[in-house]
Amino acid sequence: MSGMAEPRWLNDQEMRTWLAFLEASHLVERRVEQQLRDRAGMSHPQYEILVRLADAPDGSIRMSELAELLVTSKSGLTYQVAQLEKAGLVRRYRCPTDDRGVNAAITEDGRDKLREIAPDHVAVVRAALVDLLDADQQRAVADSLTTVVRALRAQPTG
């Protein structure tokens, strides 16, 4: 195919950056996921749903907004929330301002569960990432990844 531009292949440093990001993110995610499954019987997305809801002003967030915050599909979120609802940790209800919308809310049992499992979770996050980096490295990682998040969130998705 003539006229197509040659791909901008990754140089050694760019490839090193990409591979380090991939491997680190997979390893950290695996550790976090394993700990939550073993200690709390829940998935990392379920834990993150509880955290987001607990941090929300009234303990509830519209499902479509929650899916965007968690960078997941609406169907994937619906499944995870249904599991949390079965366990009594979350409830769903019609959005009062828009009857097409559905809100998810954390229950008291959900808040209790979060208080119970958060210490173990933060210990794993420290062991798998935070405590392995000094303050300058933490700042560099946070700044770099925030740049990526801002750029990708600003781009329309297909």
Answer for the pair 81, 49: CB distance below 8 angstroms, yes or no: yes
pLDDT for the residue 125: 97
pLDDT digits (tens, 9 = 90+) for 37-66: 999 999 999 999 999 999 999 999 999 999
Alpha-carbon span 63 to 76, nearest angstrom: 11
pLDDT digits (tens, 9 = 90+) for 78-104: 999 999 999 999 999 998 887 788 999
Answer whether CATH 1.10.10.10 is correct for domain 25-153: yes
What are the residue boundaries of the structural domains of the chain, listed by start? Answer: 25-153
CA distances from 142 to 13, 29, 150 (A): 19, 17, 12
pTM score over 0.95: no
At residue 4 the predicted structure's pLDDT band, cuts being 50, 70 and 90, is: confident
